[in-house]
Amino acid sequence: MPQTPELAESAPPAQHHRLESPVHHASTHDDWWRRSVIYQVYPRSFRDTTGNGVGDLPGITLELPKIASLGVDALWLSPFFASPQRDAGYDVSDYCAVDPLFGTLGDFDDLVAEANRLGVKILVDIVPNHCSNEHLLFARALAQGPGSAAREMFIFRDGRGERGDLPPNNWQSHFGGSAWTRVTEADGSPGQYYLHLFDSSQPDFNWDNPAVGDEFEHILRFWLDRGAGGFRVDVAHALVKDAALPDWGGTPDGSPSPGFPFSDAPMFGRPGVHDVFRRWRGICEEYDGERVLCAEANVHPIEAMADWVRSDEMHQSFNFPFLHTGWDAQALKGIITRSLNAFDAVGAPSTWVLSNHDVARHATRFGTVAPATRPGDGLGPEDPQPDLELGLARARAATLFMLGLPGGAYLYQGEELGLGDHTELPHPLRQDPTYARTNGERLGRDGCRVPLPWTPGNPTLGFSDAGEAWIPQPATWQHLTREAQELDPDSTLWMYRNALGLRRARNLGLGDLSWLVDTGTPEVLGFANGGLLVIMNLGNAQFTLPEGTVLQASSATAVDATGRLLNPDSTVWLLPA
């Protein structure tokens, strides 16, 4: 990869490296989820075998050997359940059925069989905070009216004001607008309001009602019995609300700042939520094979998030503060140290993640001057466009740095190809409800959900044999296909595969972490995990690598001709000579 080596004048003389005292010790437990690399599949954009323009379960089974050969431990599949697809499947109308868009239950069984053959686990994305308004339970709640047991499955309240025509409180939907929608009762009169923290098509369940817990126990067992390796748990911070449903004085979506739900908000992190996950942990432990629970517990600060992974609750929680930290060496050092301390305090592995289906991909964020990190704030054709070369260089460096860290790592499909977002999608093609609910003020998440490029040439770059895709791919992806990268040892794909192989061989996931003492520049960050030294250069000048080391992996043409100068925007893995 081309680099800019002309800035070498400030490189200090080479030195032997010294380490600070460890901030994290090697794990004494060997559970797979303490060191795992989990690959997120977004089914609608993975691989379409039916020609309907939407990826499907047989497409995942077909391509699974390619993903398994990357060296990942498990796949997490975003929802493929029956759904009207108002929020891309996070609006579930039947939790125990596969949406015909994606295939059948038999296709799921085939996928699990192939995954077992290849030694990877399949994690299912469970959505317990809300369902679809087309779910039978919600249809019953509407039909049976105020005060009925069916309504108690959800959060219905009378409106405020003399005529009851004001929402019960001031909470706002994450996708924009009020979090309450008024229903028309069976007799045609204006009725109660129901709560939906997301789209109006996603009514929130009432987790104070034990019948909801029983319903979900049945759903968990259904997928565990079919061989699921566990669950990614959607909105795991929000299931239980303050029973008084008080107005919230923070920002309307319960955040101290956009996109960062605060554990003190009345809709997040209520103590009762932890009882739910204790019950779920018990259910998982009845099954063999270390079935796991991974929390989308989007709460700040990281010390609060650690409550979700106490020893009798979930196994892992996504580290969003790490994802949101950006290109800043000292901020990264700070959040990594805090994460390890916070998760160590409860005996859980820390996790690391740079991209997912809700935020701009890291290759886009790192190529953008003022990157948006709030879910739903994608880039559009009118915005300044990212610097693709810079974004890719930094994305590769950040990934190689992340994969050296102890704990669990998450990858989002396509990042192993160096994909960024589609940042020039025509607005009429946008499907994320965020776009419509904010009247286009926030562009939504479609840009990071674009179908994968497999082979050059075909109109959808091999995503669909029929040449159809539910949303178009950017023209720049023509040279980023998996097939082309397979042929190029300098490709991002090869970098990921090599790094994952070394990570596994050296057991880095269960390793320790000591920061490198004083690299001489605050923009260079280094740590040791076991015998491996990981150094990332986030500054503008070349950095002289420590003496007595040999290169194991590199994110780019990371070192100059002498082999001792680390270029800007690069990461290397070194071992003692």
Question: Is 204 considered catalytic here?
Answer: no
Contact string 36-75 vs ligand NOJ (x = CB under 6 A): ----------------------------------------
Q: Which is nearer to ligand NOJ, 201 or 570 (CB)?
A: 201
Q: Tell me, by CB under 6 A, how many residues bind ligand NOJ.
A: 9
Q: Which is nearer to ligand NOJ, 133 or 554 (CB)?
A: 133
Q: Which is nearer to ligand NOJ, 234 or 415 (CB)?
A: 234
Candidates 37, 111, 127, 500; binder of ligand NOJ (CB under 6 A) is 127
415 binds ligand NOJ (CB under 6 A): no
Tokens 């020609």 correspond to what residue? Answer: 51
358 binds ligand NOJ (CB under 6 A): yes
How far, in Å, CA of 152 to CA of 187, rounded?
20
How far, in Å, CA of 389 to CA of 257, rounded?
30
198 binds ligand NOJ (CB under 6 A): yes
Q: How far is the CB of 155 from ligand NOJ (least distance, A)?
A: 16
Candidates 76, 90, 154, 470; binder of ligand NOJ (CB under 6 A) is 90
Catalytic residue (choose from 73, 234, 358, 421): 234
What is the helix (H) or strand (E) element at residue 323, kind and residue range?
A: helix 320-323
Task: Tell me if 548 sits within 8 A of 16, measured CB to CB.
Answer: yes
Q: What are phi and psi of 44, to 5 degrees?
A: -65, -15
Q: How far is the CB of 355 from ligand NOJ (least distance, A)?
A: 12
Candidates 234, 253, 415, 421; binder of ligand NOJ (CB under 6 A) is 234
Q: How far is the CB of 77 from ligand NOJ (least distance, A)?
A: 13
Candidates 235, 484, 535, 538; binder of ligand NOJ (CB under 6 A) is 235
87 binds ligand NOJ (CB under 6 A): yes
Q: How far is the CB of 132 from ligand NOJ (least distance, A)?
A: 11
Residues 6+ apart with CB under 8 A from 125: 76, 77, 78, 79, 231, 232, 234
Q: How far is the CB of 408 from ligand NOJ (least distance, A)?
A: 18
Q: Which is nearer to ligand NOJ, 23 or 127 (CB)?
A: 127
How far, in Å, CA of 88 to CA of 338, rounded?
34
123 binds ligand NOJ (CB under 6 A): no
DSSP string across 417-464: GT--------GGG---HHHHHTTTSS-BSGGG-PPPP-SSSSTTTTSB
Question: Is 48 considered catalytic here?
Answer: no
Task: Tell me if 101 sits within 8 A of 107, measured CB to CB.
Answer: no
Q: Which is nearer to ligand NOJ, 471 or 535 (CB)?
A: 471
Q: Closest Cα partner for 401 from 556, 510, 545, 564?
A: 556
Positions 287 through 316 that interact with ligand NOJ (CB under 6 A)? 296
How far, in Å, CA of 442 to CA of 325, rounded?
21
Q: Which residue is nearest to ligand NOJ (CB)?
A: 90
Coil, strand or helix at 394: helix
How far, in Å, CA of 334 to CA of 328, rounded?
10
Give Rg (Cα) of the chain: 24
Active site residues: 234, 286
Q: Which residues bind to ligand NOJ, rule: CB under 6 A?
A: 87, 90, 127, 198, 234-235, 296, 357-358
